[in-house]
């Protein structure tokens, strides 16, 4: 089943990339408009984002050095970009953290899940702010989709983050395997959340917000690098929507979907199609380069891919592990 699903995603991704590239006319591109001076802020912001992500992770797990956590982050990016498997970068980081530090499964899980859930919350809130500035640029159908999707996601996140969710789910006994996994997942989060309150959760939120801001600034400077000037609020408007669409698991790492969304919203800003494609590919290239760094880190580490995949289903991010047990 997994192989069939992967094959379908591969076919769909290839089809999207083919459609995008067949419409790309290099003759209409003027590379003279590219401004190399903007590469400097792009590199600085990309490095800062990864470093802050490591600091955020350190704040949660507390048992590993920043250097080690940076290595795990880059290896996770390598898995996301290059290995077409169901393991994913998050599980690779989870496994490497447990293997090399001996941290408990729930805390390792928290180190992966908390930044994700708070980052998603900030992403939705940013998308709503951007929508207030540029909603007139959208087709009414897409506007309706976003106006429904954003509040729905906020409600879902509120349910997941609310302490009473655990008490309700604890009494339920879902027969569906999927619903049971969701129940265990939320139960685990609520158990972990007891350890992350007060000043620590505020610090996690602050660092998550800084990561979001550096991401948006990076995208903004990618446009400046390509010789295009857009409002920063426009990045707040379109990038959350593109990111959320790319999370739909119908393509490999969002490849093709992200570029299509990037190109569509760039077109709404008056950027010609070939230039929009180039900007989206340059943005993708930045993640590929960081993945290459992760590939080097992975190659010199003492763990191999087969070992990670072998342990893929053993703990399921610690969903059935007692959070008080080390």
Q: Is the pLDDT of residue 126 over 90?
A: yes
Q: Is the pLDDT of residue 244 over 80?
A: yes
Please indicate, yes or no, if residue 302 is contained in any of the structural domains.
yes
- What pLDDT score was predicted for residue 168? 65
What's CA 241's distance to the chain center, in Å?
Answer: 13
- C-beta of residue 237 within 8 angstroms of C-beta of residue 254: no
- What pLDDT score was predicted for residue 325? 39
Please indicate, yes or no, if residue 179 is contained in any of the structural domains.
no
Query: How big is the chain by its Cα radius of gyration, in Å?
Result: 20
Q: How far apart are CA 256 and CA 106, in angstroms?
A: 34
- What pLDDT score was predicted for residue 197? 65
User: If you average pLDDT over every residue of the chain, what do you get?
Assistant: 76
Q: What are phi and psi of 243, to 5 degrees?
A: -65, -45
Please indicate, yes or no, if residue 59 is contained in any of the structural domains.
yes
Q: Work out how many domains the chain is built from and give that number.
A: 1
pTM more than 0.95? no
Q: Is the pLDDT of residue 289 over 60?
A: yes
**Lowest mean per-residue pLDDT among 20-24, 175-179, 220-224:** 175-179
**Lowest mean per-residue pLDDT among 13-17, 75-79, 166-170, 270-274:** 166-170
Per-residue confidence band for 235, with pLDDT thresholds at 50, 70 and 90: very high
Q: How far apart are CA 216 and CA 73, in angstroms?
A: 20
Higher-confidence residue of 231 and 92: namely 231
Please indicate, yes or no, if residue 19 is contained in any of the structural domains.
no
Please indicate, yes or no, if residue 178 is contained in any of the structural domains.
no
**CA-based nearest residue to 227, from 34, 51, 8:** 34
Please indicate, yes or no, if residue 29 is contained in any of the structural domains.
no
Give mean pLDDT, residues 161-165. Answer: 66
Please indicate, yes or no, if residue 22 is contained in any of the structural domains.
no
Cβ neighbors of 42 (< 8 A, separation 6 or more) are: 218, 221, 222, 225, 286
Q: How far apart are CA 249 and CA 6, in angstroms?
A: 10
Domain of 248, in residue numbers = 34-156+197-312
Please indicate, yes or no, if residue 21 is contained in any of the structural domains.
no
DSSP 3-state assignment of 272? coil
């Amino acid at each position: 089943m997994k192989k069939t699903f992967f094959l379908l995603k591969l076919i769909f991704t290839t089809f999207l990339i083919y459609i995008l590239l067949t419409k790309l006319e290099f003759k209409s591109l003027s590379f003279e408009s590219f401004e190399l001076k903007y590469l400097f802020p792009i590199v600085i912001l990309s490095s800062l984002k990864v470093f802050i992500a490591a600091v955020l992770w350190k704040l949660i797990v507390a048992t590993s050095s920043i250097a080690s956590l940076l290595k795990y982050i880059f290896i996770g990016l390598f898995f996301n970009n290059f290995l077409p498997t169901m393991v994913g970068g998050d599980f690779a980081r989870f496994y490497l953290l447990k293997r090399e530090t001996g941290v408990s499964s729930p805390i390792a899980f928290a180190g992966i899940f908390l930044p994700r859930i708070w980052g998603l919350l900030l992403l939705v809130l940013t998308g709503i702010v951007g929508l207030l500035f540029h909603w007139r640029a959208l087709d009414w159908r897409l506007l309706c989709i976003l106006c429904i999707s954003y509040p729905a996601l906020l409600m879902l996140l509120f349910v997941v983050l609310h302490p009473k969710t655990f008490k309700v789910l604890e009494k339920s006994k879902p027969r569906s395997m999927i619903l049971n996994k969701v129940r265990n997942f939320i139960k685990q989060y609520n158990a972990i959340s007891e350890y992350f309150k007060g000043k620590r959760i505020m610090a996690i939120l602050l660092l998550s917000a800084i990561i979001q801001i550096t991401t948006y600034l990076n995208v903004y400077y990618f446009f400046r690098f390509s010789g295009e000037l857009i409002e920063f609020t426009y990045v707040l408007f379109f990038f959350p929507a593109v990111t959320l669409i790319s999370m739909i698991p119908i393509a490999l790492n969002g490849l093709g979907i992200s570029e299509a969304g990037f190109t569509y919203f760039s077109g709404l800003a008056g950027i010609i199609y070939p230039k929009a494609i180039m900007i989206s590919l340059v943005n993708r290239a930045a993640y590929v380069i960081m993945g290459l760094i992760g590939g080097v880190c992975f190659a010199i580490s003492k763990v191999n891919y087969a070992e990670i995949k072998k342990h893929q289903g053993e703990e399921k991010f610690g969903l059935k592990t007692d959070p008080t047990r080390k």
